[in-house]
Amino acid sequence: MNPTAGAPRPIRSPALRAILRNLGWLLASRGVLGVLSLFYLGFATRSLGVVDFGRFALITGAAQAITTLVGFQTWQIIVQYGVDPLQQGQNGKLARLLRCALILDIISATAGIALAAAILTFASGALGIPDALRQNTLIFAVVTLLSIRSTPLGILRLRDRFAHAALADSMTPVARFLGSLYALAFDPSIRGFLIAWGAAELATAAAYWILVARGDDLPLLRSVPAEPRRTVDENPGIVSFALSTNANATLGMSGKQIPLLLVGAMVGTSAAGAFRLSAQLAQALAKVTQLVARAAFPEVVRMAKQASPQHLGRLLPRTYLVSGLAALTIMAVVTLGGKTVLSLIGGKSYRDAYPMLLYLTAAGCLELVMISAETMLTALNRASLVFAIRTCGVAVLLGAAFVIVPEHGATGMAIAVLAGSTAVALLLGIAAARVTREAPADAA
């Protein structure tokens, strides 16, 4: 008798190959698009100057912060709860889930517009936004919020249409590049670049919905009423999952938009411009983090429904190795060429931002290494644990910021971001190790 006959099957290489295949589609468009992002950043920084680029950065950062604050990660909800009805042919259940996700996106956008209007009415001065730009800023925020893409992203991820998702996502840098050329030629002002960035948001959202329409999901969306209460009953835990993923995304924003807004408030508009350029470059180079999460999450959800945490844990060392090598490569590239890139994009006035770029890139690399652990915890319905970890990271970031920024300015904020990311990385590693050692019965 084979003693292993009754043992659960280990996770084999096809799962990792599927993740790498998904990631390949997501990375396929990043080479040329990364170059385009350097161009449109250069157009904006050189056309606007240090002060106006700082204002532009604060405006776009505030809009992104509001979008993240009120938005739900409906793409994760769709993938997490759509796998079973898709595999079992339960079209009605899947349609109700998709429809409720879209309604949730619309409600979030409406709440965000109201919040943006309130902030611009009472706190535009604190953000460094002059009265002359208040209307343009509100229009940009409205456009950003109404450019709904999370639901179609979830549909494409659920259907394994990663090539289509990568194509739609590529519209943002392409449209920004073309829009910045228009702004450079006809309206080299904050208003002109806000129009370019807003047009890019609309183009990306349109691309997502057009690609979704090429499948059968739009008729599916219209086939049944939403029935939120029934959807909640059909998907146990969906409310807490939605709230947890929203809270995690909001806390994740603390390492991106919130530091920028704090630099603007505590140091000044010019410092915010330099910080934004450094952060933009660091995020562009470490964009792999988000791509890894999007590529891995559908596969991990499928595995989580069939395997124990121990079996999932066997995948972690491999993902740590791949992401660790990518992080080391990114860090080496930034260390060797970061100062030159800053000068080429923004001019000599931005060379002093090099230390910020190093600290922020290091923070992004830590996120890259540990994103697989966060993805696995979320897929195992441990989003509340991820939220607690992110909360600790925010506390470390804010505590370090208020200690370091008064003396070291924007560079101190970059150090604080790195401190927060270090805390999150350590806690995620510990949590993932413990969860993947649990017995299968404890995984629910």
pLDDT band at 298; cut points 50, 70, 90: low
Distance (Å, rounded) from C-alpha 415 to C-alpha 403?
11
**Structure confidence at residue 9 (pLDDT):** 43
Place 211 in a pLDDT band, splitting at 50, 70 and 90.
Answer: very high
Q: Is the pLDDT of residue 99 over 80?
A: yes
**The pLDDT value given to residue 290:** 53
* Lowest-confidence region among 200-214, 268-282, 366-380: 366-380
Mean pLDDT, rounded, of the chain: 81
Q: Give the position of tokens 């209307």.
A: 135
- Average pLDDT on 311-321 reads 70
- What does the H/E/C string look like for 218-285? HHHHHCCCCCHHHHHHHCCCHHHHHHHHHHHHHHHHCCCHHHHHHHHHHCCHHHHHHHHHHHHHHHHH
User: Max CA-CA distance within the chain?
Assistant: 81
Give the per-residue pLDDT at 241: 85
Per residue in 233-266, pLDDT (tens digit) is 999 989 988 888 788 777 766 667 889 888 888 8
State the residue for tokens 């295949």.
Answer: 21
Q: What is the mean pLDDT of residues 387-391?
A: 88
Q: Which of 374, 419, 372, 367 is nearest to 393 (CA)?
A: 419
> pTM of whole model > 0.75?
yes
| Beta-carbon count within 10 A of 88 CB | 10
Q: For the residues 408-415, what does the mean pLDDT come to? A: 93
| CA distance linking residue 55 with residue 51, whole number of Å | 6
Strand intervals (E) in 283-425: none
pLDDT at 8: 41
The token pair at 357 is 């770029």
Which stretch, 254-258, 283-287, 329-333, has highest mean pLDDT? 329-333
More confident residue, 323 or 110: 110
Task: Give the pLDDT mean for 200-209.
Answer: 95
- The lowest-confidence range among 54-63, 89-98, 162-171, 189-198 is 162-171
Q: What mean pLDDT is predicted for residues 328-338?
A: 86
pLDDT of residue 222: 83
Q: What pLDDT score was predicted for residue 308?
A: 56
pLDDT digits (tens, 9 = 90+) for 17-30: 555 555 555 555 55
Separation CA 33–CA 294 (nearest Å)? 18
